[in-house]
């Protein structure tokens, strides 16, 4: 992933029961914030959403915000299909990035 790109991402908890969609201009930093619960995203913290199962980069923050809104408007089954299209095992895509 390009470090300076904006990203739309989906997190889940260990059981995969909850999906959280977010947007950021620094995905690595944002994931770390989620993991230490210093993120202001009380939903993600409450449900322990720390596993990155999907992300896509965009050229600018406006495009990222629009895409985030689009995904948030989808039913769960469509979000699951998006995740499974590129990550059928629901692997934590950030496991190699963050120690």
- Give the C-alpha separation, 51 to 21, whole Å: 12
Task: Determine if the pTM surpasses 0.75.
Answer: yes
Cβ pair 98, 31 in contact under 8 A: yes
When pLDDT is cut at 50, 70 and 90, the band that residue 1 belongs to is very low
Read off the DSSP letter of residue 55.
E
The encoded tokens of residue 1 equal 């992933």
Residue ranges per structural domain of the chain: 6-86
Architecture of domain 6-86: 3-Layer(aba) Sandwich (3.40)
- Residue pLDDT, tens place only, 11-56: 999 887 899 999 999 999 998 888 887 656 578 888 888 899 999 9
Helix (H) or strand (E) holding 54, with range, is strand 51-58
């Amino acid at each position: 992933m390009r470090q300076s790109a904006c990203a739309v991402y989906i997190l889940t908890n260990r059981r995969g029961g909850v999906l959280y969609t977010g947007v950021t201009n620094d995905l690595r930093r944002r994931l770390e914030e989620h993991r230490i619960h210093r993120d202001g995203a009380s939903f993600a913290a409450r449900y322990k959403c720390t596993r990155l199962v999907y992300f896509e980069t965009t050229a600018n923050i406006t495009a990222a915000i629009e895409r985030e809104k689009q995904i948030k408007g989808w039913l769960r089954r469509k979000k699951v299909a998006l995740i499974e299209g590129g990550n059928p095992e629901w692997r934590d895509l950030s496991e190699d990035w963050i120690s």
